[in-house]
Amino acid sequence: MSTLTSLARAEAVERGIAQPVCTVRHVHIADRPLVFVPLAMAGEAGAPLAAMVGDDPRSPRLLAVAQPRNRDQRFAFAAGLAAVLLRYIEGFLTGQETVPGGRGREARTRFPDAPQILVPNRAATGFTRLLGRSTRFRRTEGEYAVLPAVPLLGRWLTFLAERAEYPGSSLLLAATDALSRHWATGQSPVEDLNLAALLGWIDPPEGLTGPQAAAAAEDPLTWPPAGPATDPTFDNEVLGRLIAACDRAEAGDDRARQRARSALEDALTSQLMPTWGLMWQAAGLLRGLPPGAHVATRWAADKDAFTWYAEQLRDGGPPQPRRDTAVSAARRLARLERVQAACGAQRAFDDPLVMAEHRLAGEAFAGRVVAAEPGRQDCSGTRRKLRPHITVETADPVLMEPGTVLTSPGRPRQQARIVSVSVTAGRPSRVLLELSGGMGRGLTAAPGSVPEPGEVTCYATFSDGFQPIPAFPDPADTPWTHGGPPPQYVPADEDAREEWS
Amino acid sequence: MTPVGRLAEQAVRGVLADLGSGCHRGVVVDSPPGAGKSALVVRAAADLAAAGERAMIVAQTNEQVDDLTDRLAGAQPGLPIGRLCAQDYLPPPRVTEHAQVSVASRVADLAGCLVTLGTAAKWAVLADDVSWPWAIVDEAYQMRSDLLLRIAGRFERALFVGDPGQLDPFSTVDIDRWVGLTWDPMQSAVAVLLRHNPDIPVHRLPVSWRLPEPAAVVVADAFYPFGGFQAGTGPGDRRLELSTRALREDPADEAVAAAAASGWALYELPPRHTLRTDAEAASACGALATRILQRGCVSYSERNPAGTPVTASRIAIGTAHRDQVKAVRAGLGGALADVTVDTANRLQGREFDVAIVLHPLSGRRDATAFHLEAGRLCVLTSRHRHACIVVARAGIPELLDAHPSTEPVHLNVPAKFPDGWEANQAVMAHLAPWRVRAS
Amino acid sequence: MTDTEARLSRIRGSVPARNHDARTIAALTSNPGCARRAIMDAAGIDKPRLASCAGFPAPFGQSQFAIARGNAFEAQVKANGCAELLRLLRDQLGLPMPEVSYDDLEEVGGNPSRELRHARTRGLLARAAASGVDAGTLFDHPLLRLEVGGRPVYLEPDLIAFRLHGRFHVVEMKSFAVIDGQADGDKVAAAATQSAVYVLALREMLADLGAGPDAVAHDVFLICPENFSNRPTATVLDVRKQLTVVRRQLSRLARIDSLMAQLPADLSFDLDLDPSGVPRRPPADVAAAVRSVQARYAPECLASCEMCFFCRDEARGSTSALGRAVRDDLGGVEYVATVLRLAREPGVPPAEQAEAAELLRAAARLRREALVEAI
């Protein structure tokens, strides 16, 4: 249930402009991101047609494939993209920052910053993954050789696309995702997938309301689709003709070829330029929001991943496998679940509007402390323990059972266990909590560590606390239930080969 | 022994024979609701112990483990049994009162035990480097395959028992990355096991001892399309009688009477699109429970031929969501404090005389995959030994009729049956003759 | 002509009914609850033209590149008497096919009518079904027929395979890629539903000839390009679920009478085309006619129905326009204005909306508090 976000949509309909659903920014926006707007050839899996890419809004670089069926031209495109992307990434492979040790881990170093790729939408993220898949297995020698930058491009693109699966990661960010997280428009989530319409609601141009700007955004003549899918009418009325002209010009002289190519590039630029502008507008809007407290923590995890992968590449080794093995799949799922839980908790802790959604759903409550026993001790066990009691009065629905352990964003190291909940119809509920931890040593609570009467607090069933990593068997010990150990990866010829019609 | 009893015994013997033959690395047993799964686990464990084989037993929750430990200890006095658990967990008295049961958090402390029981989660985090020739995995269809991956290295051969018709395991993570892989970590343990070991025999327990005959017909048809089952009792072996006359003769009485007579009732509220915490529906559930108690309901069965009153603790109210549980509980007075009100997830494995179900689709305008999920409705409609009353607003058949079928389809994923839509349709069709309109 | 057909014909007007194909029949399952769509589909209305005439032209189109790719892929797979396909079925699916013959059902000589081609298909398949021999045959360009809404629809599957263990299999060729064993879920769903339409049609034909439903397998062979090349790969697709969905939808269409009984007697979607094909009927009139049949708009319509822009415009201000999940979140309240009123106005709401009001007020309060706290 996301009633609060939906209510914000209703308000957006009424006011004719998108309404905020976050009070802070929950994604990292780099000072100098690389914007990548790809276009794919209709009917082909991950076949690039063109792309506009660059880290400076004033100088976009256009890459185009004049004859998508031509293998050399495809890989020339990949080489061109590799030049831009790898040079951009290289800029971040210098310097270091120290990460202090703790929790049994030693201090280590990592790169002080990491690259950030911005793409228009999730389909573009998918395209990035496909492009990575189609290039990372290519060979640099032999019959189907490609330039060395191409497989390296593939590995980086694959790394970025896999990292994008982690909730809270900002290395590869889809603009529609990032914007929709922070604003609710007056249209449906399906229509929000259109970047131009989404921005029309969030930041309409002078003189237009949100819905008017969004309606205008649906006209592919003024606002061509953000891709990777092209507008079919463009394909049929413009692109087909220009590609045929390029084909014919192959037989002619250099000037004819250049002319045909220029015409094609102009047409492709006309399809990409508007989205290019929207991407920088989106980055600017997001930058305008103050960052949430945990954004830096999550970006640090991204930096760790980036550093780790750069080391992997330096050490050599095979490209990322096509599919996960049983053990790597299970490990990854465990990681994703942990990260998702932590990220969700962090967003709620950072942002009262996000926490409000949990409060409405009964997963958290906020209220005032009406009674407190900060000195209460538990003498039942062998040792006396400090276990203060507080009573919180809240108007929020309390769905949790006694015994549930809660966390407060204000005191994340402290645990609060529900002793009892007293509900009277028509009046606020009263929750009796037993606190442990986060109060220092000894039998007296450190000052400020126990909420005092009159204080407004919030308690949630989730926390971003440390979760132990589950133990998995070694891949060589994959049990019979899961098919036994997987075969070793042997680079096969067919990885490098391709057949074209 | 009755013919039905012989049928069930034959099936169990078949399982034990396969287990003992040593031909297979694993044996799977599909067990419909109330088919004697725990009894099978206990017998298999006893068989293995008698043959001198060490066995580890895996269940999914502490309550399930304690239950099995208690039953095994009761069935095999003198058998040294180990109850492996977390350091801070104290098993309940029904476990600790058996002298032969040792409780510890490390396997080293349970060295003398032939049979050791623990939750899957505990087995997965065990540091000790010990393994067993045999494992029995209970509720294996409700266990996710990544959990099986973490414990399968500890045993050579295993018996997997579970109910394919009930709730599937799930994850809060929503991606398609592993869909189609034979070792998809989000699939159930049995699904993955069978994809890699298709020669493993799959047995079916053919008799439900819990469900009365009218319920077995419906549940088997709707939720077990490829291998139904029959009730262990015949029509008339289970009866409900109301000892007091109806004061009001209102729809609630009509529904209770219908349920007592036929084993089913559909208490239909006027059609409306509501929140899921529909107060009218929630209070109808409570009102029906109250009426059952007020009318002095008495149950007669093979367990209690002389009849025993249906008390509050023998009644359950099942819902899909936790906030619905709260809404129902809020309406129950003090006399009904012992009535169990819970979600389908938490009602799994439990049994009552009468179940009242708040239909997951009640009051909805559109169905979602969650609400259509067959396993949920299966759990809710298979808790009872005598009767089940489904509470729903009118309009469910219309909702099903208008439901668009736009789910994505993935390659290399075996089609799963029953289809949630079909199952829901079948249940509504079966309930139609027992409909009582509330207004 | 029955009453139903007569009425549908009147609604349609003077133009011939639009031909269905497997794709459009499959698309019927995407919104069964929409009466507007049901009537238009049953009457065979030219929806794109109607939408255009009413002032809301449909956004759909197909890129020539996609079409060309599809044709090229199919041609490659079927080249040389389906040599590639046979190799696939033998090697990849492990089907035992010692001998296979190839029958192109398009060659009936001259310019055959659909009835003629259908008759020939029937004849050949009947003979194959009757013969006890397990010899394989690939039937290319078969023409099947299915009753949809009382009218016969001619369907042309890509290919029908042979006799494997005495059963026919539908073979469907699609040009979306299967990459590392995975393909786009929505595209596979569409392919599965279309294949189910063919399976149904084939089963009906063979049932007429006395064969049981098992004569046609529910396993369809889906042929797609593999990874980034043009090499085809074959996957077996179990379409049992899609079969029940399509059957359900076809039987709904057959029950169109009950829907039509609720329509105004003089309803007509006739665009009054002049000799050159230009509609003469005023747009406002057309729009009024469309509005007289109730729709069930959801944003999902934007991807699947040519009337979507019209219905979306009509739905402005309703919570349905925001999506099913959003409407659900807002307590099922129908209009945005009502949602906001319930959320803001103090006092006692009408009994029917009491719970929704309570939820919305709590939500509004929490939102207000949080926005204030952030300042």
Q: Please give the average per-residue pLDDT across A257-272, as a whole number.
A: 95
Indicate if the pLDDT at residue C277 is higher than 60.
yes
> How much is the mean pLDDT over chain A?
92
Q: Predicted confidence band at A493 (pLDDT cuts at 50, 70, 90)?
A: low
Q: Check B196 against A330: CB less than 8 A apart.
A: no
Please report the beta strands in A10-125, taking only residues with DSSP state E, as ranges in sequence order.
19-20, 34-40, 48-54, 61-64, 97-99, 108-110, 117-119
Interface of B with C (CB under 8 A): 176, 179-181, 272-275, 277-279, 363-366, 368, 401-412, 414-415, 417, 419, 422
From the CA of A250, how many Å to the nearest CA of chain B?
41
Indicate if the pLDDT at residue B401 is higher than 80.
yes
In whole angstroms, give the CA distance from residue C169 to residue C166. 10
Write out pLDDT tens, residues C285-312.
Answer: 999 999 999 999 999 999 989 999 999 9
Mutant choice from A357, A365, A501 vs C, greatest count of C C-beta within 10 A: A501
pLDDT value at residue C28:
84
Q: Please give the average per-residue pLDDT across B96-121, as a whole number.
A: 93
The answer to the question of residue A486 being in a domain is: no
In whole angstroms, give the CA distance from residue B162 to residue B11. 15
Q: Where are the domains of chain B?
A: 3-206, 213-437
Write out pLDDT tens, residues C178-228.
Answer: 999 999 999 999 999 999 999 999 999 888 888 888 889 999 999 999 988
In whole angstroms, give the CA distance from residue A466 to residue A412. 11
Domain pair B3-206 / B213-437, same fold = yes
Q: Which two tokens stand for residue C312?
A: 């979306």
> What pTM value is reported for the model?
0.94
pLDDT value at residue A500:
44
Interface of B with A (CB under 8 A): 25-26, 124-125, 145-146, 148-150, 152-153, 171-173, 175, 177-178, 181-186, 189, 192-193, 196-197, 322-323, 326, 330
DSSP assignment of B161-221: EE-TTSPPP--S----TTTT-TT-TTSBHHHHHHHH-TTS-EEE--EESSS-HHHHHHHHH
pLDDT value at residue B362:
96
DSSP state of B311: -
Write out pLDDT tens, residues A217-238.
Answer: 999 999 999 989 999 999 999 9
Cα separation of the two ends of chain B: 47
* Residue type present at position B169: P
pLDDT value at residue C43:
87
In whole angstroms, give the CA distance from residue B383 to residue A494. 55
DSSP state of B235: T
CB C270 within 8 A of CB C289: no
Write out pLDDT tens, residues A404-437.
Answer: 999 999 898 899 999 999 988 778 899 999 999 8
Write out pLDDT tens, residues C3-35.
Answer: 888 888 889 988 888 888 888 888 888 899 999
Cα C90 to Cα A141, C100, C136: the distances in Å are 34, 11, 12
Residues of C with Cβ-Cβ distance to B415 under 8 angstroms? 238, 240-241
The answer to the question of residue A12 being in a domain is: yes
pLDDT value at residue C1:
62
Which chains touch B (3+ CB pairs under 8 A)? A, C
Residues in chain B: 439
The dihedral sign for the CA sequence C25, C27, C29, C33: negative
The answer to the question of residue A489 being in a domain is: no
Q: What percent of chain C has pLDDT over 90?
A: 45
Fold of B3-206: Rossmann fold (3.40.50)
CA atoms within 13 A on the CB side of C58: 17
Q: Please give the average per-residue pLDDT across B132-153, as a whole number.
A: 96
Q: Which two tokens stand for residue B166?
A: 């009930």
The answer to the question of residue A343 being in a domain is: no
Which chains touch C (3+ CB pairs under 8 A)? A, B
What ipTM did this prediction achieve?
0.94
Q: Which residue of A has its CA nearest to C69?
A: A43
CB C295 within 8 A of CB C320: no
Q: Check B414 against C238: CB less than 8 A apart.
A: yes
Residues of A with Cβ-Cβ distance to C226 under 8 angstroms? none
Span B213-437: which CATH code? 3.40.50.300
Residue-number span of the structural domain to which A419 is assigned: 364-460
In whole angstroms, give the CA distance from residue A42 to residue B418. 37
Helix (H, G, I), strand (E, B) or coil at B53: coil
pLDDT value at residue B215:
95
pLDDT value at residue C153:
86
Of B331, B6, B35, which is closest to residue B203 (Cα–Cα)? B35
Same domain, yes or no, for A298 and A371?
A: no
Indicate if the pLDDT at residue C2 is higher than 80.
no
Q: What percent of chain A has pLDDT over 90?
A: 78
Of B184, B230, B242, which is closest to residue B204 (Cα–Cα)? B230
* Residue type present at position C372: V
From the CA of B364, how many Å to the nearest CA of chain C?
8
Residues of C with Cβ-Cβ distance to B363 under 8 angstroms? 332
Going across the sheet that includes B297-300, the strands are: B239-242, B297-300, B308-309
The answer to the question of residue A454 being in a domain is: yes
> How much is the mean pLDDT over chain C?
87
Q: Any idea what the Cα angle at residue B220 is, between residues B219 and B225, rounded to 5°?
A: 125
DSSP state of A235: I
In whole angstroms, give the CA distance from residue A361 to residue C94. 53
Please report the beta strands in chain C, taking only residues with DSSP state E, as ranges in sequence order.
100-104, 136-140, 144-148, 151-155, 159-164, 167-173, 219-225, 232-238
Helix (H, G, I), strand (E, B) or coil at C126: helix
Which H, E and C letters describe B113-129, residue by residue?
Answer: CCEEEEEHHHHHHCCCC
pLDDT value at residue C119:
86
Cα C215 to Cα B124, B435, C168, C171, C192: the distances in Å are 49, 40, 6, 15, 19
Same domain, yes or no, for A223 and A92?
A: yes
Q: Please state whether beta strands B340-343 and B315-319 pair in parallel, antiparallel, or not at all (unpaired).
A: parallel
pLDDT value at residue A227:
84
Q: Check C32 against B402: CB less than 8 A apart.
A: yes
Cα separation of the two ends of chain C: 71
Write out pLDDT tens, residues B57-97.
Answer: 999 999 999 999 999 999 999 999 999 999 889 999 999 99
A495–C contact, CB cutoff 8 A: no
pLDDT value at residue A498:
59
Indicate if the pLDDT at residue B290 is higher than 50.
yes
pLDDT value at residue C118:
86
> How much is the mean pLDDT over chain B?
94
Of B215, B164, B210, which is closest to residue B357 (Cα–Cα)? B215
Same domain, yes or no, for A11 and A120?
A: yes
Residues of B with Cβ-Cβ distance to A473 under 8 angstroms? 149-150, 153
Same domain, yes or no, for A311 and A385?
A: no
Residues of C with Cβ-Cβ distance to B414 under 8 angstroms? 238
Q: Which two tokens stand for residue A381?
A: 């066990």
Q: Check A482 against B124: CB less than 8 A apart.
A: no
Q: Please give the average per-residue pLDDT across B119-137, as a whole number.
A: 93
Q: Please give the average per-residue pLDDT across A267-276, as a whole number.
A: 97
Q: Predicted confidence band at A501 (pLDDT cuts at 50, 70, 90)?
A: very low
Same domain, yes or no, for A157 and A232?
A: yes
For chain A, how many structural domains are there in total? 2
The answer to the question of residue A345 being in a domain is: no
Same domain, yes or no, for A22 and A131?
A: yes
Q: Predicted confidence band at B374 (pLDDT cuts at 50, 70, 90)?
A: very high
Write out pLDDT tens, residues B198-213.
Answer: 999 999 999 999 999 9
Q: Please give the average per-residue pLDDT across C72-79, as a whole number.
A: 90
Indicate if the pLDDT at residue B32 is higher than 80.
yes
Name the residue facing A133 among C179, C231, C321 (closest C-beta): C179
In whole angstroms, give the CA distance from residue A173 to residue A192. 16
* Omega cis (within 30) before B418: yes
pLDDT value at residue A291:
97
Indicate if the pLDDT at residue C161 is higher than 70.
no
Q: How many CB atoms lie within 10 A of CB C361?
A: 16
Same domain, yes or no, for A257 and A385?
A: no
Strand partners, C138: C102, C161
Residues 6+ apart with CB under 8 A from C34: C295, C296, C297, C301
Q: Please give the average per-residue pLDDT across A171-199, as a whole number.
A: 97
Mutant choice from A1, A2, A3, A11 vs C, greatest count of C C-beta within 10 A: A3
Same domain, yes or no, for A283 and A368?
A: no
In whole angstroms, give the CA distance from residue B389 to residue B358. 9
Q: How many CB atoms lie within 10 A of CB A428?
A: 17
Q: Which domains are assigned to chain C?
A: 64-250 (3.90.320), 321-374 (no CATH)
Q: Predicted confidence band at A43 (pLDDT cuts at 50, 70, 90)?
A: confident
Q: Check A190 against C302: CB less than 8 A apart.
A: yes
A195–C contact, CB cutoff 8 A: no
Cα separation of the two ends of chain A: 49
Q: How many CB atoms lie within 10 A of CB B336?
A: 19
Indicate if the pLDDT at residue A499 is higher than 60.
no
Write out pLDDT tens, residues A461-482.
Answer: 999 887 888 999 999 999 999 9
b/e string for A164-174 if b means 16 or more Cβ within 10 A? bbbbbbbbbbb
Q: What percent of chain C has pLDDT over 70?
A: 94
In whole angstroms, give the CA distance from residue A373 to residue B91. 32
CB C212 within 8 A of CB B386: no
Q: Which two tokens stand for residue A96?
A: 């270091």
Same domain, yes or no, for A313 and A368?
A: no
Same domain, yes or no, for A36 and A150?
A: yes
CB B318 within 8 A of CB B355: yes
The answer to the question of residue A456 being in a domain is: yes
Residues of B with Cβ-Cβ distance to C324 under 8 angstroms? 365-366
Q: Which residue has the tokens 């956004």?
A: C59
Helix (H, G, I), strand (E, B) or coil at A472: coil
Mutant choice from C176, C328, C358, C360 vs B, greatest count of B C-beta within 10 A: C328
Q: Please give the average per-residue pLDDT across A284-305, as a whole number.
A: 97
